[in-house]
Amino acid sequence: MNRDRARSLRNNATEPEKRLWDRLRGWRKDGFPVRRQVPIGPYIVDFACHSCRVVVELDGGQHNSVEGRRSDAERDAWLEANGYRVLRFWNSDLQANLPEVLETIRRVLAERDPHPGRLADAQPPGPPLKGEG
């Protein structure tokens, strides 16, 4: 049942989810296979990197209600009790500060990387070489 619901959520992603996914999906080549709308236990999380045990949640206004905060706290407690680190960002944070959100996610993934140092020699992407741009 959760798999069908996850598939439906992937097919009906919000604009902020699409925007973040456009960036995170390329991180597989760096050793961080991030997936979207992933069932974990009784929950479906927005994004997860299982190898680093990190969950990323994007929150809209409904998460700011009393019920939303309570539900998120229960969900976060369950995920953390099962070894996941939960990162939450407001949709507005993503809109205003995408580079900072990405840097925070990458830093936490690197901290929790089961293969530390694998990115030590990786060079940040630079401008394309002549003839490649």
Q: How far apart are the first and last CA of the chain?
A: 45
- How many independent structural domains does the chain possess? 1
Pairing of strands 54-59, 43-49: antiparallel
For the entire predicted model, the pTM comes to 0.77
pLDDT along the chain (133 residues), means of 10: 59 81 89 92 94 92 71 94 96 92 94 70 44 46
Does 123 fall in a domain?
no
User: What is the structure's pLDDT at 51?
Assistant: 92
Does 9 fall in a domain?
yes
User: What is the structure's pLDDT at 111?
Assistant: 92
Domain that holds residue 72: 2-111
Does 131 fall in a domain?
no
Does 121 fall in a domain?
no
110 and 119 in contact (C-beta within 8 Å)? yes
* CATH number for position 87: 3.40.960.10
Q: Which amino acid is at 83?
A: G
